[in-house]
Chains A and B, each alone.
Chain A
Amino acid sequence: EAQVTQNPRYLITVTGKKLTVTCSQNMNHEYMSWYRQDPGLGLRQIYYSMNVEVTDKGDVPEGYKVSRKEKRNFPLILESPSPNQTSLYFCASSLVQTGEQYFGPGTRLTVT
């Protein structure tokens, strides 16, 4: 089954404790992206990647890191999480030329 998976789905952590949210897709998509969703603000892009070893900042990259060592994986790293990073995070992927973006199930992160 074609899908985008994220782990964990729910995470409660404390300020400053490094964490990684994994994202994997099995559709051989070149393009992958991370978004955060906050009430009243819609979806805001954090980072995106056009292909392996090619990443770029989105609209809200501060406090986040990403890497794209393999085509299928695009982990999101929070090296020192803060309470303002409490949010619902979505990973997404697509073929570069089609534009149809497939979203993962989301990861709800709470930083206390």
Chain B
Amino acid sequence: GENVEQHPSTLSVQEGDSAVIKCTYSDSASNYFPWYKQELGKRPQLIIDIRSNVGEKKDQRIAVTLNKTAKHFSLHITETQPEDSAVYFCAASKTGTASKLTFGTGTRLQVTL
């Protein structure tokens, strides 16, 4: 089955700096790649997703890039703010939807003042 590896497991950045989280996947048939943010004690929430027919997608300070050849995708957060502090999960699916998602193990992002 699919295997998703996520790095780093923890990341500390200063407010205003950029943060990058990387994921690799094993199944070349995967075609849907969402990112979820989970604040402490809260439920995961979708923040951005990308499908395999697109190489990059942006939403304000957040962007995701996808390299199908290398089978990896990355989350980029620019101008980080304290409210960006959370655990971020990447995931992959080959159904084109949220069904049969395989998640990475998460990255704890800490934005310091």
Contacts and interface: CB of A to CB of B under 8 A. Distances in A.
Interface residues of B, number: 22
Given A99-B32, A99-B34, A103-B44, A42 B100 contact: no
B1 A106 contact: no
Contacts of B46: 100-101
Contact of A48 (B44, B100, B104): B100
Interface string A73-104: 00000000000000000101010111111011
B63 to A, nearest CB: 18
A58 interface: yes
Interface in A57-74: 58-59
Contacts of B44: 43, 90, 103
A69 to B, nearest CB: 19
Interface string B96-111: 1111111111100000
A41 interface: yes
Nearest to A4: B43
A21 to B, nearest CB: 15
A66 to B, nearest CB: 14
Interface residues of A, number: 26
Contacts of A31: 97-99
A24 interface: no
Contacts of B99: 31, 33, 48, 50, 96
Interface string B17-60: 00000000000000010100000000111100100000000000
Closest 9 CB pairs of A and B: A103-B43, A101-B98, A42-B105, A43-B103, A42-B103, A99-B97, A99-B98, A94-B98, A42-B106
Given A41-B105, A43-B44, A94-B98, 4 more contacts: A31-B99, A42-B103, A101-B46, A101-B98
